[in-house]
Each structure stands twice: as C-alpha cells, then as structure tokens.
Amino acid sequence: MTALHVAPCSHKAAKTAVERWHYSQRLPVGRMRRFGVWEDGSFRGALVFSRGANNKLGNSLGLGPGQYCELTRVAMRAHKSEVSRVIRVCLALLKRTEPEMLAVFSFADPAQGHTGGIYKAGNWHYHGRTAGSTEFYLGGRWVHNREATAGAFGSKCRYSKHDRQSAAKRKTPGKHKFVMWLDKHDRRKYAYLCKPYPCASPIEGPTVLGRDEGAEPILALHGGGDVKA
C-alpha cells in the first residue's frame, strides 16, 4: 500500500515541479498556497492554489477577495495515488489554514486534451465552458490575450501594441470550469448551477521527467499542520 503524504512545501519545490511536470512550465504570480506530494517518502510533485489571472472570478457567485482561490497547477510526475485523492487532501488543508475561504475554482483545458476527469472523480460542480480566447506568441511562448494586453494578474504588461500586431496568434477553445465549495451548506445551495459533466477524455497520465528534488514538507503554514491520507 502506497503511503501518501501531502503538506505545504517550499517555493523552490513547487517551482521545480511546475517547470518539469506541468505543460505551462511557469508558476502563477501573486500569493500562492503550495502543497507538496510524497509517496513512500519520495517527492512526486506539487499543487498550487492562487488567485489566478481573473480577479473577477468570484463575482458571479458573490464571493469577495479572500473568499475564493483557484487551483492553478497540478504538477506531478509518475505516481500511484489518484489525483482526485491528492486534491481532496489539499482542500482539507486549505480549509484548515484558510478558514475564510469558501470556494475553489479550477479549469480544464481541452487544448491540452483535458476535460476535467479528476474533478468529476472529486465531485466538483461543473459550470460549463468559458468563452474562447486568443493567444500571442511573445517572448518565446504562447501568451493569453489577457496577459498580452493588460499583464498577468499582479504584474505590469510587458508587451506593446506593436508587439501584438507583429506576433503570431492563434485561437484557443474555452476551458471547462469547475467549482468546489468547502462548506456543505454552500454545496447544496449552489447545486442548481451544476451542468452535466463533459464527455470523458483519454487518461490524463503524468509526464515522467527528471529526478526527485529531495524536497521536504513544511510542517506548518499559518498555524496549520500536515495531513496524511
């Protein structure tokens, strides 16, 4: 039986996991809650919760700053534990350390072949798809229209109108949107917003790259502890 251990981790450990095992290869900006994942004592990756790129994400549900966050990165190498189980433990930690937090959002990108199977397995609410967007190839990577025109959340825009006009661009499909309420009362209250889950996608297996970093868990975060499952 695999021993799963989930606990807050360092910025360095999360950064290494995202750069090696997440398709974006970049940590989000701004305040983050970082959780490392260990199996049988071996570091397997990290999950990152942050405010995301859209600072109005919670408006439609009446949520203000500090009452919601977004699961912005799930970066894991080869592992045995179900990702939905890992997320469930992270949510328990988040609820313990951030008592004012009411909801967590997450998105599945169909451009990456994802339809949110891990969220369906975790019984998240499905809220349909977002509108499609445009990406610009700037600085050696594809940049979302929001970042190209106004900067990523919490940072100043680095690109000019001329940069965008001269850059290659592409259309991207809308992402699947999921919500997890941390309180059972809220889950029942907003259940009417749920839509049928999207069709299942092929297995979203982890990418096997690199070696363990030997990262160690931080045993406390804002007075909280760690959780084993």
Report pLDDT for 203. 39
Instruction: Give the separation between CA 5 and CA 112, rounded to whole angstroms.
Output: 28
CATH architecture of the domain formed by 4-132+175-228: 3-Layer(aba) Sandwich (3.40)
What lies within 8 Å, CB to CB, of 162 at 6+ separation is none
Give the pLDDT band (50/70/90) at residue 55: confident
- Written as six digits, the tokens of 175 are 């992402």
Give residue-wise pLDDT tens across range 198-223: 876 543 333 332 333 335 565 433 33
The answer to whether the CB of 111 falls within 8 A of the CB of 172 is yes
End-to-end CA distance of the chain: 11
- Which amino acid is located at 74 in the chain? V
Q: What is the pLDDT of residue 149?
A: 75
SS3 assignment, position 215: coil
User: Are 66 and 88 spatial neighbours (Cβ–Cβ below 8 Å)?
Assistant: no
Helix intervals (H) in 7-155: 11-21, 83-97, 117-121, 145-150
Cα gap 83→118, rounded to integer Å: 6
Q: How many CA atoms lie within 13 A of 65 on its CB side?
A: 2
**Residue of 41, 20, 6, 57 lying closest to 175 (CA atoms):** 57
Q: Is the pLDDT of residue 19 over 90?
A: yes
Q: Pick the range with the lowest mean pLDDT from 1-5, 115-119, 138-142, 212-216.
A: 212-216
List, by residue range, all CATH 3.40.630.30 domains of the chain: 4-132+175-228
Token pair of 91 as six digits? 């949510």
Mean pLDDT, to the nearest integer, of 176-197? 95
Residue with tokens 């690109």: 159
User: pLDDT by residue (tens digit) across 100-132?
Assistant: 999 999 999 887 788 899 999 999 999 999 887
Q: Residue 134 forms beta bridges with which residues?
A: 171
Whether the pLDDT of residue 172 is over 90: the answer is no
| Interior angle at CA 103, CA 100 and CA 105, nearest 5 | 140
Q: What is the pLDDT of residue 2?
A: 81
